Every structure is written in structure tokens, then in C-alpha cells.
Amino acid sequence: MDAGRTVRYARRRAGLTQRALAAKAGVPQPAIARIERGAVTPRIDTVLELLGAAGFTLEVSPAIGEGVDRTLVRAALARTPEERIQAATEAARNLRTYLDAVGDRGR
């Protein structure tokens, strides 16, 4: 995460100047300028305070592509379009068979 870029984004989206954000968050304006410039690495509580003052929060989520088994993707891409259609058709048939077996009547 780039703290400076994140704070600057939140501040601008909130329509705040650095001075206005400083007043709302109780953080000196020069400190916000240094954070946004990347001159310092702020503590996480400072980032959370600045984001909160701008009406934003920080959310943790998995990195894109993490935990993806790329071998399955490569194998699927190695198939011809016709093979992909056949596999999708078979998967749809299997799903219908399963749903019928468990009593899915919500059609």
C-alpha cells in the first residue's frame, strides 16, 4: 500500500485541502504534505485517522491473483474453443443432474 497516494486520493475525493484535512484530523498540515509526497512513512493509526477524517476507511483484501492455481487457467486456455464449449456444456449437465438430485425446485 502506498500510504501517501491513499491519503491524497481520499482527501481529494472528499474535496478537502491539506489544511482542511489537517484541521479535521488534528494532524499538522506539513505532516500531511510529507505523507502525500512520500517523504515519510506514517504509522497505520495516523493513516486511519486521516482516512477517517476524509470519510474513508482502510480495508484488507487478498492481493489480486494470490491463491489462484494458474495451472488450471493455462490448461483451460490450451483448449480449443470447441473443447471449451463441450466442457461448459458437460458442466451444465452435471450441475442440472446435481440440482435435480438434491431437489432444487426453484426454477
Cell triple for 59: 480495508
Would you tell me the crossing angle of helices 3-13 and 29-37 to the nearest 10 degrees? 120
Q: What is the mean pLDDT of the chain?
A: 92
Would the pLDDT of 83 be above 90?
yes
Domain range annotation of the chain: 3-53, 70-101
Q: 502506498: which residue's cell? A: 2
Name the class of domain 3-53.
mainly alpha
Cα–chain center distance at 50: 19
Q: 96 or 61: whose pLDDT is higher?
A: 96
Least confident of 52-61, 67-76, 88-97: 67-76
Q: What is the pLDDT of residues 13-60, one digit of tens each?
A: 999 999 999 999 999 999 999 999 999 999 999 999 999 999 999 998
